Amino acid sequence: MAAPHDNPTAAELVQAVRDWLADDVGPSERPPNRFHLRVATNVLDIVQREIALGPQHEVAHRERLQALGMPDDRALADAIRSGDVDYRDAEVRALVWDSVVDKLSVANPRYLERNPRQSG
């Protein structure tokens, strides 16, 4: 929770809405609405994971970019496109892989269960 905000935190609010939709509203809905409720709870799950993991992912990504001398993703993409940076370089590949893993850990961590390969 960030000052000056009090409890409940954003993550707790999202969890409360998600639980209410899944546990209270969902079982009583007809099939077409159940699908939309499932989509809504999945979206809230993504929001929860981004709240929990986003700050550390942001720091790690910035550090990986800085290790390559890049201020941001656009600069890296431009450097690869121009040939100033070789996309086959192990550090570049590791950065891209780690970024994809971070994105999947928020968007859909089940994909990582199917392919648990570590970066590198």
pLDDT at 36 over 70: yes
Q: What is the token pair recorded at 12?
A: 């707790």
Question: pLDDT digits over 43-55, tens only?
Answer: 999 999 999 999 9
| pLDDT for residue 117 | 63
Rounded Cα distance, 57 and 63, in Å: 10
pLDDT at 68 over 90: yes
Rounded Cα distance, 37 and 18, in Å: 9
- Check residues 33 and 42 and name the one with the higher pLDDT: 42
What's this model's pTM, rounded to 2 decimal places? 0.77
| pLDDT for residue 45 | 93
Rounded Cα distance, 3 and 55, in Å: 16
Assign 120 a pLDDT band (cuts: 50, 70, 90).
Answer: very low
Q: How far is CA 18 from CA 6, 51, 108, in A?
A: 20, 14, 16
Q: How far is CA 46 from CA 35, 90, 97, 110, in A?
A: 17, 30, 20, 12
Q: Work out the average pLDDT over 6-24.
A: 87
Residues 78 and 70: beta-carbon distance below 8 Å: no
| pLDDT for residue 7 | 79
**Helix-helix angle 73-82:90-107, to 10 degrees:** 140
Question: pLDDT digits over 96-112, tens only?
Answer: 999 999 999 999 999 99
Q: How far is CA 6 from CA 2, 13, 95, in A?
A: 8, 12, 37
Chain mean pLDDT for the chain: 89
Among 68, 60, 71, residue whose Cα is nearest residue 102: 60
